[in-house]
Structure 1
Amino acid sequence: MFNLHYRLERSAIGFVLAIIGVASIGGLIEIAPLFTIDETVEKAPDMRVYTPLEVAGRNIYMREGCYACHSQMIRTLRDEVERYGPYSLAVESKYDHPMLWGSKRTGPDLARVGGKYSNDWHVAHLTNPRDVVAESNMPAYRWLSSKQLKTGDLGEHLAALRAVGVPYTDEMVSNASSDAIGQANPDTDLAAGVTTRYGDKTDVSLFDGNQGAVTEMDALVAYLQILGHLTDAAHQSTQNEVE
């Protein structure tokens, strides 16, 4: 028994077969749960996809490394639920590629930050965090307000996400650029197309407070405001548990 590895090391074929056998066991343990994925992921008929502007904001969120200090997963622990809201469900990350659950909280969890603060608060916070949270050690991102958002390639971003399973339609892909502009300019003709394609509950607003050119601040605030609101499944689940 104790000399088995010595014998394996002397036999190249035996050693390779042993490695394959052990790796297969680990692989099976990891892969087997995927066969029950339809049973473990909750149903959410009201689930909607990210708009092009929100996709752009998510890309900026990743580019600036926000996920390194903020998680997006509320655990089932009582103190987390009381502080942040209903615990996170798997279905809420259904269209996240990659997922941004995170593993470290220098700042608070953001899974339910959408709608918690106004657009003006988010702009002030991103411009100079200390203006709204005195003890914050978060860096300022004031340049986002002056940097125009690149919208011309958003259709390609949506097409790439569709390739990995996000149900964007041809119409959504072809109108991605105009929809991004329209969502940040509510008093324009382009705004109507956003709600037509993504639903009446879509937040169409002057996210950075200024009409006209769409900035990276618009995109990032739009993304933050949708977190926790792609579906109401978590709130419905909590209500069912109480009943």
Structure 2
Amino acid sequence: MSFWTRHQIFEKNSIILIGGILAMIAVGGLVEITPLFYLKSTIEVVDGVRPYTPLELAGRNIYVREGCYLCHSQMVRPLRDEVERYGHFSLAAESMYDHPFQWGSKRTGPDLARVGAKYSDDWHVTHLVNPRAIVPQSVMPGYPYLAATEVDPTGIADHLRTNRVVGVPYSDDQVANAAADLKAQADPDNAGVEAFTKRYPKAVARNFDGKGGAPTEMDALVAYLQMLGTLVDFKLYNEKANLR
């Protein structure tokens, strides 16, 4: 019996064809899923990655609220042109505390995965208030009201608790001091800065919007943007790659 003759069994009998399809899907599914049961985590362990500070988390919430993810992705793909333009390709661990992640699917503007520390706080404030003052051809809307709107610190502890429910390892101490930490990060003269930096290593405390007083939504959004891509020391990755 030739191959084509045997194949007619599937072509002429729909029940056998469906059974064959289901069998192939089952085998393929087992091949893909079974190894995952033997992995402790599908995310690599990376030094430096930490949960967002309360101010950064508030900034991220504003980023999502204003729809920034619709025009800016946060995922550098491992392609030469992207790596040369934006920097080291994104690691899964960098998004492990994002709920939901901000990888995006469209780039009207540039990718922001490595925007942290690339520009000054003043640059970000000016760009957010009037994008065309920085990039004349920009189609991005302005957000001047962020600088005039104070961040409400009363609900930030609830945001930390909610994130903890889905796996973000906020401690009881971090939750209890969420409001104080939010204020401390935006005021380097605040008495609670030392305690804040112990709870969030590598976090930077400064006046992000350049104004005194209570933290504004501009403080929060700039704090969030300035930490993107800064937690991982990619020099170590590049050195390891060169040694191979």
**Which range, TM-score by smaller chain?**
0.7 to 0.9
Q: CA deviation at 1:143?
A: 0.7
Q: CA deviation at 1:38?
A: 4.2
- In 1, Cα distance between equivalents of 2:113 and 2:216: 23
- Which residue number in structure 2 is paired with residue 71 of structure 1? 73
- Which residue number in structure 2 is paired with residue 60 of structure 1? 62
Q: CA deviation at 1:235?
A: 3.6
Match of 1:150 among 149, 152, 163: 152
What per-residue deviation string (whole Å, max 9, x for no partner) do you get for residues 189-238 of structure 1? 13222112112x31111111111111111110000000002222x44212
- Which residue number in structure 2 is paired with residue 205 of structure 1? 206
Q: How many residues align?
A: 234
- In 2, Cα distance between equivalents of 1:39 and 1:173: 25
Asked if 2 retains the 8 angstrom alpha-carbon contact of 1:182 and 1:193, the reply is: no
- In 1, Cα distance between equivalents of 2:65 and 2:20: 42
Report SS of the residue matched to 1:115: coil
Residues 1:106 and 1:29: Cα distance change in structure 2 (over 3 Å): farther
Asked if 2 retains the 8 angstrom alpha-carbon contact of 1:149 and 1:214, the reply is: yes
Report SS of the residue matched to 2:154: coil
Q: CA deviation at 1:156?
A: 1.1
What amino acid is aligned across from residue 66 of structure 1 in structure 2? Answer: C
Residues 1:6 and 1:57: Cα distance change in structure 2 (over 3 Å): same
What amino acid is aligned across from residue 138 of structure 1 in structure 2? Answer: M
Asked if 1 retains the 8 angstrom alpha-carbon contact of 2:121 and 2:208, the reply is: yes
Unaligned runs of 5+ in 1: 10-16
- In 1, Cα distance between equivalents of 2:56 and 2:71: 20
Report SS of the residue matched to 2:89: coil
Match of 1:120 among 110, 116, 122: 122
Unaligned runs of 5+ in 2: 1-9
The reply on whether 1:226 has 2:227 as its aligned counterpart is yes
- In 1, Cα distance between equivalents of 2:130 and 2:150: 19
Asked if 1 retains the 8 angstrom alpha-carbon contact of 2:11 and 2:17, the reply is: no
- Which residue number in structure 2 is paired with residue 195 of structure 1? 197
Q: CA deviation at 1:95?
A: 1.3
- Which residue number in structure 1 is paired with residue 97 of structure 2? 95
- Which residue number in structure 1 is paired with residue 14 of structure 2? 5
Asked if 2 retains the 8 angstrom alpha-carbon contact of 1:155 and 1:174, the reply is: yes
Asked if 1 retains the 8 angstrom alpha-carbon contact of 2:36 and 2:42, the reply is: no
- Which residue number in structure 2 is paired with residue 12 of structure 1? none
What amino acid is aligned across from residue 63 of structure 2 in structure 1? Answer: Y
Residues 1:164 and 1:239: Cα distance change in structure 2 (over 3 Å): same
Q: CA deviation at 1:90?
A: 1.2
What per-residue deviation string (whole Å, max 9, x for no partner) do you get for residues 72-125 of structure 1? 111111111111111111111121111111111110010100000000100000
Residues 1:6 and 1:99: Cα distance change in structure 2 (over 3 Å): same
Q: For 1:21-36, what aligned pairs fall within 5 Å after superposition? A: 28=30, 31-32=33-34, 34-35=36-37
- In 1, Cα distance between equivalents of 2:32 and 2:65: 30
Residues 1:55 and 1:8: Cα distance change in structure 2 (over 3 Å): same
Identity over the aligned pairs, expressed in percent? Answer: 54
Residues 1:37 and 1:63: Cα distance change in structure 2 (over 3 Å): farther
- In 2, Cα distance between equivalents of 1:61 and 1:37: 33
The higher radius of gyration belongs to 2
What amino acid is aligned across from residue 137 of structure 1 in structure 2? Answer: V
- In 2, Cα distance between equivalents of 1:153 and 1:30: 41
- In 1, Cα distance between equivalents of 2:159 and 2:148: 23
- Which residue number in structure 2 is paired with residue 14 of structure 1? none
- In 2, Cα distance between equivalents of 1:71 and 1:180: 26
What amino acid is aligned across from residue 66 of structure 2 in structure 1? Answer: E
